Amino acid sequence: MPYVPNTDRDREEMLETIGAASVEELLADVPVELRVEGDLDVPGPLTEPELLSHMRRLASLNRSAGDVVSFMGGGVYDHVVPAAVRKITSMAQFYTAYTPYQAEASQGTLQAIYEFQTLIARLTGLAVANASVYDGSTAAAEACIMALAATRRSKVLLAGSANPATRTVSRTYLAGAGVELVELPIKGGVTDLDALERNLPDAAAVVIEHPNFFGLLEPTSAIGELVADSGALLVASVDPISLAILAPPSAYGAAIAVGEGQSLGAPVAFGGPLLGFMATSRKHVRRLPGRIIGRTTDENGRRGYVMTLQTREQHIRRERATSNICTNQGLVALGAAVHLSLLGKEGLRELAVQIASRSHYAADALARVQGVGLRFDGPFFREFVIELPFEAARMKHELSRVGIWPGIDCGCYYGDMKNCLVVSVTEKNSREDIDSLASGIEAVIASGGRA
Amino acid sequence: MSTATTKLERPHEPTLFEQGSPGRRGFRLPPLDVPTIDLARAIGPEHLRNEPPDLPELAESEVVRHFSRLAELNHHVDRAIYPLGSCTMKYNPAVNEEAASLPGFTDLHPEADARHAQGSIALLYHLGRHLAEISGMDAVSLQPPAGASGELAGMLVVRAYHADRGRQRRKVIVPDSAHGTNPASVRLAGYEAVEIVSNAQGRVDVDELRRVVDGDTAAIMITNPNTLGVFETRIREIVDIVHEAGGLVYLDGANLNASLGIVRPGDAGCDLMHMNLHKTFSTPHGGGGPGSGPLGVKEHLADYLPFPVAARDESKAVGFEYYFDYERPRSIGRVHTAYGNFLVAVKAYAYILTLGPEGLRRVAENAILNANYLQALLEPFYDLPYAGRCQHEFVLAATRQKAGTGVRALDIAKRLLDHGLHAPTIYFPLIVKEALMIEPTETESRASLDRFAAVMKEIAREAIEEPAVVTGAPTATPVGRLDESRAAKELDVVWENG
Amino acid sequence: MSEQDLRFTETHEWLRVEGREVTVGLTDYAQGELGDIVFVELPEVGRTISPGDVLTTVESVKSVSEIYAPVSGEITAANDALDSDPGLVNTDAQGEGWIFRIKLADGEDLSRFMSADDYATHTKG
């Protein structure tokens, strides 16, 4: 039997030790009327070569980024992943271990996560970070829960310019909490400051995304100043790569910084596993959800690491825990730590400058195409929105026939933006790719909507 | 002490931040083939950072060596038994990793049109069908990225169900042997967790349940087999009591490994449940994730599942067969940015296909056999508060040792580490004093179980004859027993250059 | 002031009465059960309280003990020294390790609480 070492003879001898006549006897507690009759209706068994051939066939039904020129983003980005990242995350010592419950036998995982926390703190400018949560969306939702508890208020203001996933997941998470969730309207592609000010009284949290779903930079200084006097906590959902050049959340008064960390060494992988990170000030460290690794010493004074502040967590505080999270995204966090170490101080900055430069080149190239306009004129980082003379869905469909995925159709999320595409650029998009996108769009428009 | 003086003390591994040198790099980017923009002009000086973040500066070889040295400090299941109760640390098949690294899976963007994602959507669809068949549920969402996320989604389904019936209920019943995530998820969904005590056999006290259940009961959350490794033989009665009061039955599927092909929670009347792909379905635990906690529901709750749902249209009316159904007006919403931990789903799917129906049943049978065998070997040396046959796991108590020489469950756990073995889950379930909760899983050989038992026997002897050896453990690990109290008092969770 | 002057609750708080002001802490017995205390959450000064309210928590590495309001009144002071040295609850639970002070509401009296002797019996049971 696959993966079961026991032979029939082992089984017999083990039953003898137990004092049972058969395995059936061990199942005596399971009522007979509940037993499965016959076999489950699942396929298999397959041998390794049969399985791999089936899996390859399935995988071949996908058209992946390698086969197309892609400008898809929206929170999940196709970056170059250094080979050393995969080398480390494929080490059995990391991927076949579990949550470091026995610290003395888990120092590798513990120190790596401590280093991950440090890297996130340095990127965000905040004092402390946790060991990760599932993704950027749940990180934002968990930040709202922190703010609700810290302020003892019950209203959350969520920027309408934030990623649709951030908004819908936060809405789901907060459904049971009796929370008033207000989506702030958009003006010129960013948060409407007047609307923010009007809704601020009694708010527990103000959640912004920076850069936002459209790639635009939010008026963070103005938002920070407004929120500072309101008693609400400012939650900034940020792109970690952008933080190599953009002001960190601490600079504009964010009490909690969260974000999607997939771009740090993980593949796009159909959207999972992703990596949610969370950082905050020392004042709020006890409200953070999930694992936190701390440095300490052993009885001989040797440096070591443990899970700390565990009294926040569900296994101790049960219904009064700060969150229900248990398993997080440890291996993806490890990959992010490896990725950031490989790129380093200069490398991450160069990456951010490349993304900014390529996306500005792309925006300029597309804006020159007859019939295409930039929807917004504010500063942006890696993504920007173009407006087409007809529905974006049609453009996407036509371009996909020539192997170009031009971006995300805004019409899926914003009813008044059916002609708009969010175009996303990474260091993998060469000048040639960008030029082919521009000429592809030009050709489709020129032919009245056909590639 | 004579050995200690000759032993070379291994220095601790410095952090990333204590290594490297300014200007050093471990990776080169593709050349920039467009003009470099002037950041201040294009983005605006008010948005820019004054100082770049202080990241390490290391060569690739330094990075790889650092993390390789850290790797050496970990226990892991590829090395030896990892018998954490209720964590199902089974062997992670190598072929599954290969399947999940196929570029067709790793390089597909989640926003790809369905026509370009037929392989991935088909996989999610069919894995959902297989999990439904295995659990006896009717519909499955693979979106929850971990067990606790599945629990929250499940409790939100319960909430939506009662809201649709016009009257919200207030409480969810949780046995005192439950995982901490259960009451935490209940609370997060806006319900009050009402704990009920277990009876002398470690099972739900059915009479007590009758007293507690009323018109305000939204659901019961039950784990079966429970965390004591005991099957809830009266599950049908429990289901009926809750159903009669108009409540729903949520099954925590953390321990599904014992049930594969033998019993299906759906057939016992449970309305919804989560499964843990990183436990029952062999996907690696990754040092604490990524996991996957799919939520399965019966037909009457299917409309509430998180959207989108992977679906199939064999007629290919829209030109392709598999698609995501977003038209779910009664859905609780999304619980993940995309479709859950997709690559974890790939591994679980590969696992099910490798095993087939017969293999799945053999998994459960051997998990139960291994647990009973190990229990039989250890019973003479430790207390067994809930005697009798167990399912996939059992709970010992170090009460005898504690009363005798003061050796606690914690000490026994640390002493196991000295032998290169991992410890069981300790001090859980909370209702057992000095608990050692042991789940060997079916992938341990008899030799491995014998070795674990021999070491446990030896520790029981030490506890009587040389207790200081046990209470002073571990000594063979990279660090000695760590000061958790200092970690909490002098909080240091971020390296600050010193 | 000796232990005989203190009053005790079933939930392991001690109370010391001086006029209309009551000082509250965790009993020496309870700190022993908790072990090494690593954190004491201090209540908000000025907060109005009623019996049974959860006011603060005292935490060891792996357990949490909640401190309930024994009486109605208003919190007038919290022991800030516990911020930097929560271990005071271990070393001097019924003295330097006090947690907060309450100004008693009108009509409150403390006769329902246990004496030191009764509490000693209670914790043995």
Quote the pLDDT of residue A450.
Answer: 67
Q: CB-based contact (8 Å) between C90 and chain B? A: no
Q: Is any Cβ of chain B less than 8 angstroms from the Cβ of C36? A: yes
pLDDT tens for B218-260 read: 999 999 999 999 999 999 999 999 999 999 999 999 999 999 9
ipTM over 0.95: yes
Domain with C44 in it: 3-105
Which chain C residues have a beta carbon less than 8 Å from that of B430? none
Q: Identify which of B174, B182, B160, B169 has the alpha carbon closest to the alpha carbon of residue B218.
A: B169
- Among A110, A174, A113, residue whose Cα is nearest residue A142: A174
Query: Cβ(C86)–Cβ(C39) under 8 Å?
Result: yes
Count of domains observed in chain C: 1
Residue pLDDT, tens place only, A47-94? 999 999 999 999 999 987 668 999 999 999 999 999 999 999 999 999
Q: Which of A204-213, A369-378, C40-49 has the lowest mean pLDDT?
A: C40-49
Per mean pLDDT, which range of A85-94, A164-173, B424-433 is the poorest? Answer: B424-433
pLDDT bucket at C123, cuts 50 / 70 / 90:
confident
Per-residue model confidence (pLDDT) at position B1: 40
Contacts of B87 in chain A (CB under 8 A): 98
**Which of A21-30, A183-192, B61-70, C28-37 has the least mean pLDDT?**
C28-37
Pick the residue of A55, A71, A88 with the most B CBs within 10 A to test the interface with B by mutation.
A55
Interface contact flag, B188 A173, Cβ < 8 Å:
yes
Look at residue B498 in the predicted model and tell me its pLDDT: 54
Query: Could you give the residue ranges of the DSSP H alpha helices within B93-249?
Result: 94-100, 103-106, 118-135, 147-164, 181-188, 206-212, 235-244
DSSP letters spanning A313-351: SHHHHGGGSS----S--HHHHHHHHHHHHHHHHHHHHHH
In a domain, C117, yes or no: no
What pTM did the predictor assign? 0.96
Distance of CA C58 to the CA centre of its chain: 10
pLDDT surpassing 50 at residue C110: yes
pLDDT band for A451, please (50, 70, 90 cuts): low
Q: Among all chains, which residue has been given the structure tokens 């490349």?
A: A354
Q: Fill in the DSSP letter of residue A186.
A: E
Rg from Cα positions in chain C? 13
Structural domains in chain A, sorted by start:
65-78+345-446 (3.90.1150.10), 87-338 (3.40.640.10)
In this predicted structure, the answer to whether residue B124 has a pLDDT above a threshold of 60 is yes
Q: Is the pLDDT of residue B320 over 60?
A: yes
Mean pLDDT for chain B overall:
95
Mind listing the pLDDT tens digit for each residue in B38-97? 999 999 999 999 999 999 999 999 999 999 999 999 999 999 999 999 999 999 999 999
Span of A333-337, A342-346, B7-11 with lowest mean pLDDT? B7-11
The single residue listed with the structure tokens 């934030």 is A162
Q: How far is B316 from chain A (nearest CA, A)?
A: 15
Q: Residue A267, Cβ neighbours under 10 Å: how many? A: 24
Judged by DSSP in three states, B298 sits in coil
pLDDT at A80: 96
User: Is the backbone of residue A33 left (phi > 0), alpha (psi -120 to 50) or beta?
Assistant: alpha
Residues 89-148 in B contacting A (C-alpha not used; CB under 8 Å): 89-93, 95, 97-99, 102-113, 115-120, 122-123, 130, 133-134, 145-148
| pLDDT score of C107 | 81
Q: Is residue C58 part of a domain?
A: yes
- For C72, other C-beta atoms within 10 Å of its C-beta total 17
| Contact across the interface for A286 and C62, Cβ inside 8 Å | no
Residue B330 has pLDDT above 90, yes or no: yes
Q: Is residue B43 within 8 angstroms of chain A, CB to CB?
A: yes
C116 falls within a domain: no
Residue B5 has pLDDT above 50, yes or no: no
Q: How far apart are the first and last CA of chain C?
A: 26
- Which three-class secondary structure state does DSSP give residue B218? strand
One-letter amino acid at B266 equals G
Distance, in Å, from the CA atom of A316 to the CA atom of B400, rounded to the nearest integer, reads 25
> Which pLDDT score, from 0 to 100, does residue C63 have?
87
C79, part of any domain: yes
Could you tell me if C31 lies within 8 Å of chain B, comparing CB atoms?
no
Instruction: Give contacts of A317 with chain C, Cβ < 8 Å.
Output: 64
**pLDDT value for B248:** 98
Q: Count other Cβ atoms within 10 Å, centred on residue B497.
A: 7
**H-type helices in A46-135, by residue range?**
48-60, 83-89, 92-95, 107-124
pLDDT tens digits, A356-388: 999 999 999 999 999 999 999 999 999 999 999
Q: Report if residue C110 sits inside a domain.
A: no
- Taking contacts as CB-CB distances below 8 angstroms, the residues of chain C near B482 are none
> Between chains, do B488 and C62 touch, taking CB under 8 Å as contact?
no
Q: Which residue of A273, A321, A354 is in closest CB contact with B343? A: A273
pLDDT at C125: 62
Q: CA B482, CA B228: separation in Å to the nearest integer? A: 29
Among residues A196, A137, A125, A195, the alpha carbon closest in space to that of A162 is found at A137
Residues in CB range of A450: below 8 A, 6 or more apart: A398, A444
Q: How confident is the model at residue B3 (pLDDT cuts 50, 70, 90)?
A: very low
A393-429 pLDDT per residue, tens: 999 999 999 999 999 999 999 999 999 999 999 999 9
What is the C-alpha to C-alpha distance for residues A261 and C22, in angstroms, rounded to an integer? 51
Three-state SS string across chain C, please? CCHHHCEECCCCEEEEEECCEEEEEECHHHHHHHCCEEEECCCCCCCEECCCCEEEEEEECCCEEEEECCCCEEEEEECCHHHHCCCHHHHCCCCCCCCEEEEECCCCCCCCCECHHHHHHHHHC
* Closest-approach residue (CA) in chain A for B95: A48
Q: CB within 8 A of B13, min separation 6: which ones?
A: A111, B66, B69, B70, B73
Q: What is the pLDDT of residue B8?
A: 55
Q: Are A78 and B109 in contact (CB under 8 A)?
A: yes
Residue-level pLDDT at A140: 98
Domains of chain B in start order, with CATH, are 2-71 (no CATH), 94-352 (3.40.640.10), 364-484 (3.90.1150.10)
User: How far away is chain C from the Cα of B435, in angstroms, using its nearest Cα?
Assistant: 15
**Residue C113 domain flag:** no
User: Closest to C62 (Cβ–Cβ): which among A286, A316, A320?
Assistant: A316
- For residues C49-70, average pLDDT: 89
pLDDT tens track for B247-306: 999 999 999 999 999 999 999 999 999 999 999 999 999 999 999 999 999 999 999 999
Question: Is the distance from CB of B258 to CB of A36 less than 8 angstroms?
Answer: no
Q: Is the pLDDT of residue B6 over 80?
A: no
Q: How confident is residue B4, by pLDDT bands cut at 50, 70 and 90?
A: very low
Is C101 a domain residue? yes
Q: Which residue of chain A is at minimal alpha-carbon distance from B203?
A: A29
**CATH assignment of the domain containing C90:** 2.40.50.100
| Dihedral sign for Cα atoms in the order A185, A189, A191, A195 | negative
Residue C56 covered by a domain: yes
Counting as contact any 3 or more CB pairs under 8 A, the partners of C are A, B
